[in-house]
Amino acid sequence: MVRPALEPPPRLPRGPHRLARHEVEQSQRARLLIAAAEAVAAKGYVATSVADILKGAGVSRTTFYQLFDDKLDCFLAAGRMASDVVAAVITDELARVVHDDLTPLEKLDHLLGAYLRTLAANPALARVFLVEVYAAGPEAIRQRRESLDRFVDLIAATHPDGSTLIGPEPEQRFAAEVLAGAVSSLVTTTVGAGDLDGIAALHEPLMKLAARLLAT
């Protein structure tokens, strides 16, 4: 499965409209999150200002502060959005292949491919999710750690039919953590260097690592 690049909703019409208040806020929030990701990806977290986010979103400063406490609050929300996109990709792909007649390694191959393609299709969110989080301080780093734990949980889980993707307990949790750490480190370095084409190139070496883990 490939998630298409995320795009903000169209700007709200000027003047009277029939949108409910929650629909207006939902649209404005989505625009701000995408704009925050794009601004931070382009300028870096430290150099990005609230004004940069407002310019990209086409939303007023008053509205921004109705929805977020400050730049960090908006950035953290953008990070959660990125994490949710990644988790949804993995969950959807897992549901698609978990009952197929595939080996654990083949199932992991599908998950990793979907994950890498999604990052390549969403470069701004990839940079927010993997790179700029470390410039935003302890709360953002903690949130990134929680996102990594979600990934480990998904690939280490035992499914209702008793199958697992990465070996028997108790080894499967540790193996999942090793694999997740390797994926995170290599992808973060590649995204940080701005090498979007290099993301796909990580697939083969990471699967070779997974094969060694599953062979132990």
- The model's pTM: 0.84
Domain that holds residue 190: 70-215
CA distance 209 to 16: 58
| Domain total of the chain | 1
Query: Who's near 39: CB < 8 A, 6+ residues apart?
Result: 48, 52, 53, 56
We report the CATH number of the domain holding residue 100 as 1.10.357.10
Is 100 within a domain?
A: yes
Residue 185 — left, alpha, or beta (φ > 0 → left; ψ -120 to 50 → alpha)? alpha
Share of residues in the chain with pLDDT > 70 (%): 86
Work out whether the CA dihedral 188, 193, 195, 201 comes out positive or negative.
Answer: negative
Higher pLDDT, 50 or 82: 50
Q: How many CB atoms lie within 10 A of CB 194?
A: 11
The pLDDT mean for the chain works out to 86
Per-residue pLDDT reduced to its tens digit, 13-71: 454 455 566 777 888 999 999 999 999 999 999 999 999 999 999 999 999 999 999 99
The reported pLDDT for the residue numbered 19 is 56
Is 187 within a domain?
A: yes
Per-residue pLDDT reduced to its tens digit, 112-140: 999 999 999 999 989 998 999 999 999 99
Is 170 within a domain?
A: yes
Q: Specify the DSSP class assigned to residue 11.
A: P
CA distance 14 to 103: 55
